[in-house]
Amino acid sequence: MKHNLKRILGWAGVSASLVFSSLWAYWGAMENFHEGWYSASISENLFMLVFQYLLITIIFVLLAVIALRFKKIGLMLHGLVAAFCIWFFSGANILVLGPMIVVPIIGLGLMYFFGEPEPKKWAYRLIVAIPLIIILAISVPQAIKVSQRVNDGDFGIRIVEGQMFTLAWAPRGPGWPDAGTSWYEANEICRHISEDGTTVMETEQNIWRLPTVEESVDAMMLHSQNSGGTWNAAEEKASYENAPDKETPLWDVHSKVIYYWTADTSPDDDQRAYIIVYHGEVFERVKTEGQGYLSFRAVKDVDRVNNRQ
């Protein structure tokens, strides 16, 4: 009876570790190719993959492997991780922090300490193999997809013809920064950008602006071809004949920016505006947000370009 209880506890610990590590493996692999993997250096991309997106998975796997081999050390390490979480999330509600993070981690350590999964060799194999399989199953096709992205290296003013609109998109510079920007800042910058898109003037020029949601969706591309996007304002949903990707002429494949602000405010909340993702989806964000991956690219009407020429 005691032996069976130890076996049940041991496999319960292994199962819990697999749930945590597998979920984080899935999230990490997906996010790595969504918001990461933008550097021109393979080594930098791999470093981010391992130490940013897969770090929590690796921690859960290492904790499990160590706890299986060295019970006391494993229990102590689980306790240290729980203590670190208390410190790191010190501002969080204790009613959330305790039941959702601290108690499960300590409970996991106790299951390994008192449990004994048999055969243990299969516990080791599953703990390592399942997260690895998930990571490879996601990463390999995503890596192939990313390697096929179009990058023509032209980051100047681009004339992009959509199905309904033809606009000039700003060159790399103040109208297309490689840094996080709030919606308010983006609009203010647009109003002051010079005709050629390279300088922020002291006085308002009112030449450049943020594109609307409809214009943004209409301009999205895949492999230098228009994606056939349409915007349904009533349903607040974009649809495409071909899903767009993070490619030139609209996006910089080596930039961490994956979201652009649009000019349109949410009809339900004037403190929120629409953003568009490189793969074409449209969401709302609070206008004051300005994370490093959320920026903008200004546009102007093509007749302004033609008149200048």
For residue 96, what pLDDT is reported? Answer: 65
What is the number of structural domains in the chain?
2
Task: Identify the band that residue 1 occupies on the pLDDT scale cut at 50, 70 and 90.
Answer: low
Confidence band of 104 (pLDDT split at 50, 70, 90): confident
Contact 49, 36 (CB under 8 A): yes
Query: Which of residues 20 and 210 earns the better pLDDT score?
Result: 210
The pTM score is: 0.87
Q: How far apart are CA 294 and CA 97, in angstroms?
A: 29
User: Looking at the chain, how many residues does it have?
Assistant: 309
Considering the domain architecture, whether residues 288 and 162 belong to the same structural domain is answered as: yes
pLDDT in tens, 252-296: 999 999 999 999 999 999 999 999 999 999 999 999 999 999 999
pLDDT number for residue 103: 84
> Which amino acid appears at position 72 of this protein?
K
Q: Which of 94, 114, 147 is the last residue of a domain?
A: 147
For residue 308, pLDDT over 60 is answered with no
What is the C-alpha to C-alpha distance for residues 290 and 294, in angstroms, rounded to an integer? Answer: 6
Q: Which of 120, 147, 174 represents a domain boundary (last residue)?
A: 147
In the predicted model, is pLDDT for residue 88 greater than 90?
A: no
pLDDT range class, residue 309, cuts 50, 70, 90: very low
162 and 219 share a domain? yes
